Amino acid sequence: MRVVIAGGHGKIALILERLLADGGHEPVALIRNADHAADVTAAGAVPVVLDLEAASADEVAAVLAGADAVVFAAGAGPGSTAERKLTVDRDGAILLADAARAAGVPRIVVISAMRTDDFDAASDDVFQVYLRAKSEADAAVRASGLDYTIVRPGGLTDEPPTGLVAADTTLPRGSVSRADVAATVAEVLTSGAASRMQFELTEGGLPIVGALAALPDPA
């Protein structure tokens, strides 16, 4: 399976790339900075330099040609402006979905964030704009016609993976390791679980496969 990962040098993406490569799949990492190519290559992915903030849908679609799935793992990152929350976290995800549809890629997995729909529309606080950006991106992906899965993790940590998570439409606030998020995304991609579903994810007591199997059927 060929999987193209936007935000390919992010912490979750690097772990995901290694998991996919070790499973015999072909991860392709979209990166903005050519200096990051060595890191993604070491993780088992093929680097492609492409800036989602500057690229057209046709340019992205050309890179996605022949892929089985795409993953949106990009983000403007801590310390970025409210404007870049919109241009990267929202517009980048929408661009990836549009390009996937144009390229005939059937599957998209989006790494979003917990409680994004609770944003304060009247606030210009950067975090509230971030939540709005994620919420609007998720809504666009749900409406895209693609076979989507939207993973909304709680607070991210760099703790070692446990393989034990909680997954549901809504969960109490909590945290989850980036490694367990990556493992969940890898399972979704390789098994086809959680098709046309959106769910929150935290650390919990169920193995990832079992937590995904226990998700409520989509309406």
Give the tens place of pLDDT for each residue, 174-183.
Answer: 999 999 999 9
Mean pLDDT of the chain: 96
104 contacts: CB under 8 Å, gap ≥ 6: 65
**How far is Cα of residue 44 from the mean position of the Cα atoms in its chain?**
18
Q: pLDDT at residue 37 above 90?
A: yes
Q: Of 122, 118, 2, 143, which Cα lies nearest the Cα of 71?
A: 2
Domains of the chain: 2-213 (3.40.50.720)
Residue range 105-160, pLDDT digits in tens: 999 999 999 999 999 988 989 999 999 999 999 999 999 999 999 999 999 999 99
Q: Band of the pLDDT at 82, cuts 50, 70, 90?
A: confident
DSSP string for residues in 130-189: HHHHHHHHHHHHHTSSSEEEEEEE-EEE-PPP-SEEEEESS--S-EEEHHHHHHHHHHHH
